[in-house]
Chain A
Amino acid sequence: MNAVVVPPGWDGGPGWLVLPSPEGAATAVELVERALDEASLLADAPLPMGLGLAAAGWQLGVTQLRAVTERLAQSGVTLVALCSDDPRSRVAAAAIGLQTSPPLPQRPAGAQPPGPAGGPGLALQRGTLRSGDHLEVEGSVLVLGDVNPGACVRAGGHVLVWGRLRGIAHAGCQGDTEARIVALQLRPLQLRIADAVARGPEDSPPAGMAEQASLVEGEIRLDPAQPCWPLAARA
């Protein structure tokens, strides 16, 4: 199967190059190259806002993304965005300056945003998120590592950090007011749950106690974390 080009819509966004799901031996760069060889695909579509890469099912590292960017640049096309369901690929894309987004939700318009238990599952981020990193997932996210100052995690569901949370965390970013932020050490610059925003506490944290932030009557409150896994609790 070959890659498909979706020209930019009337809203003036980027055009999209949609990769088929990874099957067989072809790498992402080879698929992009094949699409470029079918010159008519890209030549016919004017791309004033650049091109986005939709790569569902792919796990792309910085090296591969940079190779794709360079290959496209040779043909005069600027890669501006990556749409992927793999959080690690999105972190890599953000690191080389691409805009990132999770795949477009394929639910009927007007439907309720899915709750963390019913919706997409748990994304796992291994390793510390450093300053400038930006992680966004549709469901809940578990970070194994710290979230350093200057980094940002956004999740449709819960944000769980097995480490120190010192950056910015946004749980329930699609409006889920039940979402929680839990961390072994909760000292963020800023906390957001759904539409509420709070600054992090400034005093030093109690030693050895996990904390959680939840929305109580429209305000974000910090408590000792409940001794149960939030995903399981709602299942």
Chain B
Amino acid sequence: MTAQSSRFILICSGKGGVGKTTLTANLGIALARQGARTAVLDADFGLRNLDLLLGLENRIVYTAQEVLADSCRLEQALVKHKQQPNLALLPAGNPRMLEWLKPEDMRKIAAMVGEHFDYVLIDAPAGIEGGFRNAMAAAQEAIVVTTPEVSAVRDADRVIGLLNSEGVKPIQLVLNRVRPKMMASQEMLAVDDVTDILALPLLGLVLEDEQVIVSTNRGEPLTLGEAGSPAARAYLNVARRLLGEDVPLIDPSQERRGLRARIGRLMQTKIF
């Protein structure tokens, strides 16, 4: 596979804590499960934790820093996932690396990784300063993650403006931590409110799910297991849409009816 045919996707949000790294980890696993050779690249050098989410922290020997300094080969720095050999992580270097890393370095690293993989997911840091600009330099397309909150949407809008001015496209949207009940009672921004402002195609809707916290702490992304929880299903659907499959979006107003209704719907689909 050559660099031309691999896809470099930036995962960014502007605001912190909306789920960039969680999406990167889960999407990486989900893509790998579908058979795509996937690399996840931690561009959050200051506060790296993609390795934690993937449960690979104790396997890191070399980092992007050593690869750039030519003190190791790329293959040595790439950490293969335990259960999903299709997925590899390129860990970020020392936090001090931020000061000397340049957009060209990022491009160089990404091009090297792109020679071996179909998908390169770049986990951007929060904010719009140097770290984010470095991450953006290596990307061809982007996924903007946001939550249905005014501040997250505002920051996402700013980021989309920057991506536009750098010519990164297509830009797609993942709306994270959706609470159908709060949306129904209009205590939370509706899906339409968000897409109205951001004017981006919606790649996925991820429901608020306690299992995400459990899986983060364990270092086992939700998409590794059977798609039992709502968030796991959403992440898998995002991966399938990225691969070009036409998967309909969930409707939050239908999701809020509770467990009983959901079981009922499941039975219906089985019977008819």
A residues near B (Cβ < 8 Å) are 61-63, 92, 95, 127-128, 130-133, 146, 148-150, 164, 166
Contact = CB atoms under 8 A, between A and B. Distances in A.
Contact of A132 (B158, B196, B199): B158
A220 B216 CA distance: 52
B161 A132 contact: yes
B199 A150 contact: no
A131 B161 CA distance: 7
A130 B164 CA distance: 10
B197 A62 contact: no
Interface of B: 154-155, 157-158, 160-162, 164-166, 196-197, 199
12 contacts: A62-B166, A95-B161, A95-B162, A130-B158, A131-B157, A131-B158, A132-B161, A146-B197, A146-B199, A148-B197, A149-B154, A150-B157
B166 A130 contact: no
B130 to A, nearest CB: 12
A38 B165 CA distance: 32
Contact of B154 (A63, A146, A150): A150
B158 A128 contact: no
A166 B165 contact: no
Contacts of A146: 197, 199
A91 B67 CA distance: 37
A130 B162 CA distance: 9
Nearest to B163: A130
Contacts of B157: 130-132, 148-150
Contacts of A127: 164
Contact of B197 (A61, A63, A132, A166): A166
Q: Which of B158, B165, B196 has the most C-beta atoms of chain A within 10 angstroms of its own C-beta?
A: B165
Contacts of B165: 61-62, 92, 95
Contacts of B164: 127, 130
A65 to B, nearest CB: 10
B162 A131 contact: no
B154 A131 contact: yes
A149 B161 contact: no
Contacts of A61: 165
A157 B161 CA distance: 26
Q: Which 8 A-B pairs have the closest CB atoms?
A: A130-B161, A131-B157, A131-B158, A132-B158, A62-B165, A130-B157, A95-B165, A131-B154
A149 B153 CA distance: 10
Contacts of A150: 154, 157-158
A20 to B, nearest CB: 26
Contacts of B196: 164
Contacts of B166: 62-63
A92 B162 CA distance: 9
Contacts of B154: 131, 149-150
Given A62-B166, A95-B161, A131 B199 contact: no
Contacts of A149: 154, 157, 197
Nearest to A145: B199
Given A128-B199, A132-B158, A164-B196, 15 more contacts: A61-B165, A62-B166, A95-B161, A95-B165, A127-B164, A130-B157, A130-B161, A130-B164, A131-B157, A131-B161, A132-B157, A132-B161, A133-B161, A149-B157, A150-B154
A49 to B, nearest CB: 22
A166 B197 CA distance: 9
Nearest to A128: B199
Contacts of B158: 130-132, 150
A133 B199 CA distance: 16
A112 B199 CA distance: 41
